[in-house]
Amino acid sequence: MTTVAHILAAKSRDIVTTQPHRTMAEVARLLADKGIGAVLVTGADGDLLGIASERDIVRAISRVGPSVLDDAISRHMTTRVVSTRPDSTVTSVMEEMTAGRFRHMPVMENGRLTGLVSIGDVVKHRIEQIEHEHSALREYIATA
């Protein structure tokens, strides 16, 4: 069974974070600059306070209007963050993302943030795995 650790090994361990007092506009700019869909919000000692995704920003703008871009991100982020562990299987992550209807999961190890997996990472990994299985099967058939 492939685990979250396999995915993390194949990607950069840089985790993009922001602070709770940053404005929605600043976070929107950060997401755009980094080409990502969500950012983790951490406290002064690196503890995980929440997650803010582009969906939170879009929802807030539609509810309140563009003035919401001046609000602190802490007012609109999700604070009940579902995380995973390096030894969790990729399949379980896929199931949790589907059930929770979110596309990002922080990875925690001994209470410390060690990475972030996105639905894009999970799908990329599954496609590579399926292609690998297909070529092994083709080779098996060709040499049988």
Residues that bind ligand AMP (CB under 6 A): 37-38, 51, 53, 55-56, 78, 81-82, 102-105
Which residue, 116 or 125, is less far from ligand AMP as judged by CB? 116
Q: Which of 77, 75, 34 is nearest to 55 (CA)?
A: 77
Pick between residue 103 and residue 125 the one whose CB is nearest to ligand AMP.
Answer: 103
CB of 81 to ligand AMP, least distance (A): 4
CB closer to ligand AMP out of 81 and 94 = 81
Of 100 and 130, nearer to ligand AMP (C-beta) is 100
Are 114 and 43 contacting, i.e. CB atoms less than 8 angstroms apart?
no
Alpha carbons 55 and 112: distance in angstroms, whole number: 26
* Both tokens assigned to 22: 């940053």
Q: State the nearest-atom distance from the C-beta of 132 to ligand AMP, in Å.
A: 27
Q: Is 140 helix (H, G, I), strand (E, B) or coil?
A: helix
Which amino acid type is present at position 38? A
Taking CB atoms, the residue at the shortest distance from ligand AMP is 53
**CB of residue 135 to ligand AMP, shortest distance in Å:** 32
Distance in Å, CB of 14 to ligand AMP, minimum: 18
| Burial letters 100-130, b for 16+ CB under 10 A, else e | eebbbbbbbeeeebbbbbbbebbeebeeeee
